[in-house]
Amino acid sequence: DIVMTQSPDSLAVSLGERATFNCKSSQSILNSSNNKNYVGWYQQKPGQPPKLLIFWASTRESGVPDRFSGSGSGTDFTLTISSLQAEDVAVYYCHQYYSSPPTFGQGTKVEIK
């Protein structure tokens, strides 16, 4: 199985500031045939199911604010919130769908400083 390791486990950021967190896969999840990285990012608020934010490592899902952006390739990926808002307090998970079984990172908890 591909292991997805997120860092840090938690992060406190002031409102309006940038939040950046990382996800590392145990093997490359770049498909060289189509040049796509098989990574998604989800946001989970308390008491709610995960919500898809990003797929193909950097494509924003429809309706997701443009302060959210994804980057990276191969084994190292980053989710950035350019200007943290109060409603962004949540746990964020990365997910690989390069191979079966699909696996998720353990999550990064984002809080307000």
Partner 1 sequence: QLHLQESGPGLVKPSETLSLTCTVSGGSISDSNHYWGWIRQPQTPGRGLEWIGSIYYSGSTNYSPSLKSRVTISVDTSKNQFSLKLRSVTAADTAVYYCARRQFWYDMSGHYSTWFDPWGQGTLITVSA
Where along the sequence are the contacts to partner 1 (CB under 8 A)?
1, 31, 33-34, 38, 40, 42, 48-52, 55, 61, 93, 95, 97, 100-107
Site of tokens 């990172």? 105
Q: Which is nearer to partner 1, 17 or 111 (CB)?
A: 111
Minimum CB–partner distance for residue 17 and partner 1 (Å) = 26
Minimum CB–partner distance for residue 15 and partner 1 (Å) = 26
3 phi and psi, to 5 degrees?
-95, 130
Q: Which is nearer to partner 1, 67 or 97 (CB)?
A: 97
CA angle 16, 70, 81 (to 5 degrees): 10
Q: Which is nearer to partner 1, 72 or 105 (CB)?
A: 105
SS3 at position 60: strand
Rounded distance between C-alpha atoms, residue 16 and residue 24, angstroms: 26
